[in-house]
Amino acid sequence: MSLLEIAGLTVTAGGRRVVDDVSFTVAAGERVGIIGESGSGKSVTSLAATGLLGAGLSASGSVRLDGTEVIGASDRALRPLRGPVAALLFQEPLTALDPLMRVGRQIAEPMRRHLGLRGQELQDAVRTALADVSLPDERIARAYPHELSGGQRQRVATAIALAGHPKLLIADEPTTALDVTVQDEILSLLDRLVAERDMALLFISHDLAVVARMTDRVIVMQRGRSVEQGEISQIISAPHDPYTTALVASARALDAALDEPAASGGSEGSGR
Amino acid sequence: MSILELRNARFAYGSRTVVDDVSLQVTEGEAVGLVGESGAGKSTIFSLLLGLAAPHEGEVLFDGQPLNRRDRALMRRFRGDVQTVFQDPYSSLDPRQRIDRIVGEPLRSLGIARGADARRAVADAVRSVGLDADVLARYPHEFSGGQRQRIAIARAIVSKPRVLLADEPVSALDVTTRIQVIDLLRTLRAETGLALVMVSHDLSAVAALCERTVVLRDGRVAEEGSTRGILSAPQTEYARTLVSAIPRLPAA
């Protein structure tokens, strides 16, 4: 049994199929990517995986998370899964964090709930959790989200997501809102944490290079459908589907510009 | 001589200096990328170059003359010669106006052409961005993001400007559309000799279009030179960090 088994997932919004008959699995410890452009249904798929579809969206098919059927399950039945089984990391940490609560308490909350920690033990665990996401400064725990930089906020959101020791981390465009140097740091952090904790990773992104760095296997989505699945190296070097082919060619053209930039004016770089 | 120049420009919001002693030049026909991360001063420099804000120290020069907003003849020439494209093709086009009216707006407001001449110029501009003449009677909501950006580019080139200032022109677009709009800008430059100033956080888009790059950090120029030089042999620690942080595809 895989940790996440999605079979024939269809999500409709007002009669429109935003996810259309998508099937894939994520095994324990496996790293899987979903790549697609805007409107491809990749984010909705990730929300459906944890039963977090908003009002107005309805799902059919099957989503089994660690053996439990998610579709049709009550929120009460799903709550024990969120945290210890699967945790989510979103694009904009500011919307995921409570603006009125100090970040230390936001990390402590799921630890109290899922791990039953109290008192000094809980405080120590929060300190360790912050250190794990490379925020060793004690002042961070007492800060409010708006007092932190975008990168620090995403580190805090990561600490919260990992507080319940999930078996699967679902990261939906976790670095899209960040500067490129900060993105690099957060990707390294996630890479290390997923490896250290032997977690499975479902990584959703529009950026093929980022998905290639983070995952081994990828699902390509277009207009709600999974058009191609395979090893990332295979998808990049020999895509089969016409859409995947266009996507890879575009990404390849942009990547190639970095090696062969627009005709040089002759002057070399000069530092100041 | 440069068409556009910033000379020792400084700009502050209250006590916070966001552009600090920045000098840069744009010469006829060249493409310059202004790259940097949040807080680098990109947007403010863009506003200074567009004449939307005036520097607190230093100056903005257009064809060697200080940009003076009270000099109406100079400003009219400036508006015709220096046109702009913004990041978000959804908010930059007036939803209540037909495409022909949107694209022809600079011709009307600058008094460049009217009647049949204006219609011909609008039709030419729309054709040169790769859209059919039948788009002219339609409205922005009928178009995708990439098509809207083409319409915004048509509006920007209708007055036959010498410089196009583009603020993250492809950042909001999906990668397959992004490469098409980059190709369009490249073709327009080759055909018309249009100079391009592109503000972007995306070094690959800059590399695809601009032969020269200015790296900005905390309101200052950290490094400048050929895009090739900056990408292959950055001289400063910051440029090195920036270049090495770009996610790359594995070799095919």
| Count, residues in chain B | 252
Q: Which residues of chain A have pLDDT under 70?
A: 264-272
Q: A250 to chain B: nearest residue by CA?
A: B176
> Taking the model in full, what pTM does it have?
0.91
Is B99 exposed, middle or buried (CB count within 10 Å of its CB: 0-12, 13-18, 19+)?
buried
Domain with B20 in it: what CATH number? 3.40.50.300
Phi–psi pair at A7, nearest 5 degrees: -135, 120
- pLDDT at residue A271, rounded to an integer: 43
For residue A270, tell me if it sits in a domain.
no
- pLDDT at residue A94, rounded to an integer: 75
- Identify from A40, A250, A259 which residue to disrupt to test chain B contact, counting B C-beta atoms within 10 A and taking the largest count: A250
DSSP characters for A60-125? EEEEEETTEE-TT--HHHHTTTBTTTEEEE-S-HHHHS-TTS-HHHHHHHHHHHHH---HHHHHHH
Q: How far apart are CA A197 and CA B186, in angstroms?
A: 47
User: Considering chain B, what is the average pLDDT of its residues?
Assistant: 95
Share of chain B above pLDDT 90, in %: 94
For residue A175, tell me if it sits in a domain.
yes
Q: What is the strand order of the sheet A68-69 is part of? A: A16-26, A4-13, A57-65, A68-69
For residue B252, tell me if it sits in a domain.
no
- pLDDT at residue A267, rounded to an integer: 37
Contact call for B210 and A236, based on CB within 8 A? no
Q: How far apart are CA A219 and CA A45, in angstroms?
A: 11
Which among A38, A179, A252 is the nearest to B249, CB-wise? Answer: A252
- pLDDT at residue B88, rounded to an integer: 85
Q: What angle do CA A203, A209, A215 make, to 5 degrees?
A: 35
The token pair at B219 is 């309101």
Which among A184, A208, A233 is the nearest to B245, CB-wise? Answer: A184
The pLDDT of residue B93 is above 70: yes
Contact call for B208 and A261, based on CB within 8 A? yes
For residue A187, tell me if it sits in a domain.
yes
H/E element holding B35? strand B31-35
CB A261 within 8 A of CB B211: yes
- Residues on chain A touching B230 (C-beta within 8 angstroms): 269
- Residues on chain B touching A176 (C-beta within 8 angstroms): none
Q: B233 to chain A: nearest residue by CA?
A: A269
A101 reaches B (C-beta below 8 A): no
Q: What average pLDDT does the segment B75-103 reach?
A: 93
Domain with A13 in it: what CATH number? 3.40.50.300
Is A67 exposed, middle or buried (CB count within 10 Å of its CB: 0-12, 13-18, 19+)?
exposed
For residue A262, tell me if it sits in a domain.
no
CB B251 within 8 A of CB A252: no
Q: What average pLDDT does the segment B218-244 reach?
A: 97
Q: Which of B161, B201, B202 is nearest to B179 (CA)?
A: B202
- Residues on chain B touching A255 (C-beta within 8 angstroms): 204, 248-249
- Residues on chain A touching B222 (C-beta within 8 angstroms): 271-272
For residue A260, tell me if it sits in a domain.
no
The token pair at B23 is 């000098």
Phi–psi pair at A65, nearest 5 degrees: -110, 110
The residue segments making up the domain with residue B182 are 2-244
CB B1 within 8 A of CB B30: no
CB B241 within 8 A of CB B68: no
Q: A37 to chain B: nearest residue by CA?
A: B174
How far does A201 lie from chain B, in Å, by closest CA?
Answer: 19
- pLDDT at residue B50, rounded to an integer: 94
DSSP code of residue A27: -
Contact call for A250 and B176, based on CB within 8 A? yes
Write out pLDDT tens, residues B177-212: 999 999 999 999 999 999 999 999 999 999 999 999
- pLDDT at residue A269, rounded to an integer: 38
- pLDDT at residue B251, rounded to an integer: 80
Q: How far apart are CA B214 and CA B114, in angstroms?
A: 39
For residue B251, tell me if it sits in a domain.
no
Q: Which of B202, B184, B167 is nearest to B89 (CA)?
A: B167
For residue B249, tell me if it sits in a domain.
no
For residue A179, tell me if it sits in a domain.
yes
Q: B40 to chain A: nearest residue by CA?
A: A179
The residue segments making up the domain with residue A127 are 4-255
- Residues on chain B touching A253 (C-beta within 8 angstroms): 179, 208
Query: Cα(first)–Cα(last) distance of chain A, in Å?
Result: 58
For residue A266, tell me if it sits in a domain.
no
A200 reaches B (C-beta below 8 A): no
Query: Cα(first)–Cα(last) distance of chain B, in Å?
Result: 44
For residue A228, tell me if it sits in a domain.
yes
- Residues on chain A touching B38 (C-beta within 8 angstroms): 150, 179
A210-213: long-range pairs with CB below 8 Å, 24+: A210/A175, A210/A183, A210/B247, A211/A33, A211/A35, A212/A33, A212/A236, A212/B247, A212/B249, A212/B250, A213/A187, A213/B247
- Residues on chain A touching B201 (C-beta within 8 angstroms): 179-180
- pLDDT at residue B89, rounded to an integer: 81
Write out pLDDT tens, residues B35-55: 999 999 999 999 999 999 999
Q: What average pLDDT does the segment B137-141 reach?
A: 96
In total, how many domains does chain B have?
Answer: 1
Task: Count the helices and strands in chain A (H runs, E runs).
Answer: 11, 11
Report the DSSP beta bridge partners of residue A155. Answer: none
Phi–psi pair at B33, nearest 5 degrees: -100, 130
A87 reaches B (C-beta below 8 A): no
Write out pLDDT tens, residues B8-33: 999 999 999 999 999 999 999 999 99
Which among B30, B37, B223 is the nearest to A271, CB-wise? Answer: B223
In total, how many domains does chain A have?
Answer: 1
